[in-house]
Amino acid sequence: MTAALVNRISCLPPVLDASAAARARARLAPEVYSAWSEADGFLDGVFSNAPYLSRLARRHQDVLAALSRGDPETLCNEANADALAAADEDGEAGIMAGLRQAKAKLHLTAALADLAGAWDVETVTGALSDFADAACRGALRGAAQLTGFDVGNDPANPVRGVFLLALGKHGAQTLNYSSDIDPVALWEPELAEPPPGKEPRRAFAKLIQTTARLLSEITADGYVFRVDLRLRPDPGSTPVAVNATMARRYFEALGQNWERAAYAKARYCAGDAGAASAFLADLEPFIWRRTLDFAAVADIRALARQIQSVGDRADLISPGHDLKLGRGGIREIEFYAQVLQLVFGGRRPALRQRDTVKALGALADADLIDSGEAVALVDHYRFLRAAEHRIQMLQDEQSQTLPHDDVSRAHVAALMGWEDLAAFDADVERRLRAVHQAFSTQFEDDESLATPAGSLVLTGVEPTPDTLATLQRYGFSQAGRVWTKLAGWAAGKAKAARSPRARALFSRFAPRLVEALGETGDADAAFTRFAAFFEGLPSGVQVLSLLINHPELTRELMTVLGQAPRLAQTLGQRPAVLDVMLDPAFATPLSEDDPRIHAQRFEALCRLEFEPALNAARCIVREEKFRIGAQLLLRRATASQAARAFSSLAEASVIAMSQVCEQEVARRHGPPPGRWAVIGLGKLGGRELSADSDLDLVVVFDAEAELSSGSKPLGPEAWFARFTQRLIAALSAPTEEGELYEVDLALRPDGNQGSVATRLARFEKYYADEAWTYERMALTRARVIAASPGFAPCVDAAITEAAMASFDADAIRRDAADMRARLERDRPAKSIWDLKLRPGGLIDIEFIAQTGQLAARRSFSPTTREALESLATAGLLNREDLGVLMSAAEDYGAVTGLLRVAHGSGFDPEEASRPFAERLAVAAGCADLEGLVIRLDSHARSVRRLFEAYVGVSADSGDG
């Protein structure tokens, strides 16, 4: 049980004015003071410094006496109950009196618990906010009775379909003693019923007007809360009670960025809780946008600058400083947290904290801010909130400003536990400076129309000589043409820059753009790609705001656009992919990824319907492919790490889509009449996928029933064929979000002539009696990707048995050599950069690994390089030859991985930018492209020599 307050006093405010303490004693009954016994010195310190609390104690001596023997938690609960019960008092005057007496009880209790050190800041603000909820509920119920509504039995929900949302500090549950409350009143037209014969709009407006009056009207007992109803949607043209359907439409079509920030703190406080919960759920996509919206951030920045530029608020001295709105004050800490919440909260639900302290903790946990800075800001926030409270305890004034005069400010200091005013002032100023330093670091926003290399003026009919010189210094060979394009964008001659806001943002961004383009080493090529990207944007405000706020992102974007046309095309078509570059995970090396990162991203898909799941999967894959590809391009990952990541992503996609498709087929035809497995072969099986690889899949099943049990039952062949067709569509069919992967089922038993889904028994028989050598070779890279529970081991065993059966080793090698000769004849390499098909290329290395395993009847690994290493360990491959093959495979993989990320399957070095050519050469340890060509040719000769030694030469390459 919680102890009485007198036994929990840990802070003793000094008595600065003994006569004031004596006057306070004289106004109280002696038995009340004596009940506090040895703790009466605490009361002297409080009442001598806080006249408002002294007056409260005089008028409510019963509360003071109760606190001498009881705990503040119980008294606060009683005050909340009194506020709810006030609705049942006689008439309007009775309701008002009940609410105001409950407030006085709550304030006196909370303030004494606060000053005694029994409660921390969060407990105090929580108690004040809980009381505000209770007062709103009591006032709403009282108003419903006064205005003729049929009041239900639930005291918290007097009128079905009508509810109040708390915003601001009330919504965040961080009210102070003199806070306004900003409720938003809404009513659901399908649920709410007005009194008989009353028009709904007017009836609900009268209900809310009466509710507000019960709370805010000043009587002999004072007031409960000042009520501000202006945060409702479109307050200039809507009644005080808003139709919830209209509100939804408003936020969807016209909602402003400041409203996103305001409603991020919205929560239910009174009325119909179920209706409120549904409304807030509908509002989530408006508030927490998955696509990062830096236009909102820019608006908040502008508001922050207005706040700190007003009058004395810009000073950093204690006397007269506004602890809420002034520089280094509470609002700066709130903005510091809320901007990052709005930016990342759409993608990270854990950041959606209404309370500033919790928000700072969540941001630190997400590595979005330094944990040490978060701890410091929380400490400063609590100090400033405590000081704010004590300012209000002086006279119950709605103020957060430290008094100018030393005497009044000394009383605030005393209530904070300070006897030395100078020391208190110094501590306040130290904290204000620390907060403002953190705030300024995040909100520094003073771009000029100049670059480090000179001026950049984009107005007028022709460029200034200085501007042309600046562009030339950054490496633009056609500075006049570049200026014309930049000036055109600044004037709105692109769809992305047509709005005034977009033009203003572009003018601020242009210097940074020019600088970043110059840093790519090939400004002309990079600018051409940026122009294609920028002019393809439907709107530029969000993208420009994002780039302005993140200079490093701008540099990385220029690298991507300048070196990787394939990634540039993705960005041009889906600008929201830029969000990926801003997420902290983008800068985390692939080697540090959680092994389940891709599986976790797909986990929620099974809860979606079929079409939404397909679209969600495509968004995930597009974003992850971009992240992996960019990490490779930006040298944060090796080619082998990227291949593993691309393979992990594809594997997670197949697993998720298999589950979704099983559910979809089961929905109409019942659960599967047996078990199934999806086998991955080729580069998917070997975990060697590149950015544009297709997926080689085989679906096998084992029937356990003659028919499924659904409303439209199917036999096993039909059920699993339907499942496989769904899976192919889920993976490869285009939707509004694009495609996932191309899928190839050609390696299934009987090829394109066979069923799309194969019985396990047929799979085993086919490979025992009928399969060609190339099909058995393919099985060395096969592994189960997705399967019914418990079925994967059976399929794995069948794969191993089929691949490792007794064969004539010489026949295997002859067949492999013949097949390689046919490939060179029928599918010749398109250029020397076709490192897969060129003689001595990747296929030669793969054939050596595959035939070696088949001939030895030992399955080592579906990954080529691991299989080669195992062959050497087993004495089946010369160690020196292993080194040659591994070196070639590593360089082939590095070059191929980059080419597929940046250019796709086609690559012409004449069209590549100079920085990309350099990046490509460095990937294989060469100084330039010419050196890389020499190195690749050398690898090809060595690999072909080893292919002929370990596999052989086709006996008849003419007709195969």
Residue-wise DSSP of 421-462: HHHHHHHHHHHHHHHHHHHHHHH-----SEETTEE----SSS
Model pLDDT, residue 39: 84
The whole-angstrom separation of Cα 190 and Cα 245 is 9
Please provide residue 455's backbone torsions phi and psi, each rounded to the nearest 5 degrees.
Answer: -75, 155
Confirm if 932 and 892 have CB atoms less than 8 A apart. no
Segment among 127-141, 419-433, 454-468, 488-502 with least mean pLDDT? 454-468
Residue 272 backbone class (left: φ over 0; alpha: ψ -120 to 50; beta: rest): beta
pLDDT at 943 > cutoff 80: yes
The whole-angstrom separation of Cα 855 and Cα 847 is 12
DSSP-derived letter for residue 927 is S
The whole-angstrom separation of Cα 591 and Cα 679 is 26
The whole-angstrom separation of Cα 881 and Cα 869 is 11
**Rg of the Cα trace of the chain?**
36
pLDDT at 720 > cutoff 60: yes
Model pLDDT, residue 582: 73
The whole-angstrom separation of Cα 15 and Cα 25 is 13
The whole-angstrom separation of Cα 753 and Cα 756 is 9
Average pLDDT, the chain: 88
Model pLDDT, residue 683: 95
Give the model's confidence band at 79: pLDDT under 50 very low, under 70 low, under 90 confident, else very high.
very high
Look-up of token digits 């990342």: 344
The whole-angstrom separation of Cα 638 and Cα 392 is 60
Instruction: Look up the pTM and report it.
Output: 0.62
Model pLDDT, residue 217: 94
Q: What is the pLDDT of residues 360-416, one digit of tens each?
A: 999 999 888 889 999 999 999 999 999 999 999 998 888 889 999 999 999 999 999
pLDDT at 487 > cutoff 90: no
What is the mean pLDDT of the segment spanning 250-258? 75
What is the mean pLDDT of the segment spanning 764-792? 91
Lookup: tokens for 263: 């409603």
Model pLDDT, residue 455: 65
Segment among 325-339, 615-629, 719-733 with least mean pLDDT? 325-339
> Whose CA is closest to 365, among 346, 384, 337?
337
Please provide residue 829's backbone torsions phi and psi, each rounded to the nearest 5 degrees.
Answer: -60, 140
Segment among 256-265, 431-440, 507-516, 888-897 with least mean pLDDT? 256-265
> Whose CA is closest to 149, among 267, 236, 238, 241?
241
Please provide residue 912's backbone torsions phi and psi, each rounded to the nearest 5 degrees.
Answer: -80, 150
Residues whose CB falls within 8 Å of the CB of residue 94, separated by 6 or more in sequence, listed in order: 86
Q: Where are the alpha helices (DSSP H) in 589-744?
A: 597-602, 610-633, 639-669, 682-685, 716-732
Confirm if 693 and 651 have CB atoms less than 8 A apart. no
Separation in Å, CA 651 to CA 217, 645, 782 = 65, 10, 13
Confirm if 845 and 888 have CB atoms less than 8 A apart. yes
pLDDT at 265 > cutoff 50: yes
Separation in Å, CA 716 to CA 54, 673, 751, 774, 785 = 83, 6, 20, 29, 21
**For the chain, how many residues are written?**
960
Model pLDDT, residue 448: 42
Bridge partner list, 786:
678
> Whose CA is closest to 576, among 605, 532, 599, 546?
546
H or E stretch covering 558? helix 551-563
Confirm if 363 and 421 have CB atoms less than 8 A apart. no
Within 13 Å and on the Cβ side, how many CA atoms surround 602? 23
Interior/surface letters 318-353, b for 16+ CB within 10 angstroms, e for the rest: bbbbbbbbbbbbbbbbbbbbbbbbbbbbbbbeebbb
Residue 584's Cβ-count burial label (10 Å; 0-12, 13-18, 19+) is: exposed
Give the model's confidence band at 959: pLDDT under 50 very low, under 70 low, under 90 confident, else very high.
very low
pLDDT at 721 > cutoff 90: yes
Q: How many CB atoms lie within 10 A of CB 853?
A: 28
The whole-angstrom separation of Cα 772 and Cα 851 is 13
Model pLDDT, residue 533: 80
Lookup: tokens for 924: 């294989």
The whole-angstrom separation of Cα 51 and Cα 43 is 12
Please provide residue 380's backbone torsions phi and psi, each rounded to the nearest 5 degrees.
Answer: -65, -40
The whole-angstrom separation of Cα 370 and Cα 14 is 37
Q: What is the pLDDT of residues 591-610, one digit of tens each?
A: 888 888 898 889 888 788 89
Give the model's confidence band at 450: pLDDT under 50 very low, under 70 low, under 90 confident, else very high.
low
Give the model's confidence band at 253: pLDDT under 50 very low, under 70 low, under 90 confident, else very high.
confident
Interior/surface letters 518-546, b for 16+ CB within 10 angstroms, e for the rest: bbbbbbbbbbbbbbebbbbbebbbbbbbb
Within 13 Å and on the Cβ side, how many CA atoms surround 954? 16
Lookup: tokens for 39: 């703790």
pLDDT at 913 > cutoff 80: no
- Chain-centroid distance, C-alpha 921: 36
DSSP-derived letter for residue 735 is B
**Beta-strand pair 674-681/695-703:** antiparallel
Q: What is the pLDDT of residues 61-73, one digit of tens each?
A: 999 999 988 899 9
Q: How many CB atoms lie within 10 A of CB 398?
A: 11
Q: What is the pLDDT of residues 671-696, one digit of tens each?
A: 999 999 999 999 999 999 999 899 99
> Whose CA is closest to 639, among 921, 897, 919, 918?
897
Give the model's confidence band at 256: pLDDT under 50 very low, under 70 low, under 90 confident, else very high.
low
Confirm if 676 and 791 have CB atoms less than 8 A apart. yes
What is the mean pLDDT of the segment spanning 906-934? 85
Confirm if 497 and 490 have CB atoms less than 8 A apart. yes
pLDDT at 856 > cutoff 90: no
Confirm if 505 and 298 have CB atoms less than 8 A apart. yes
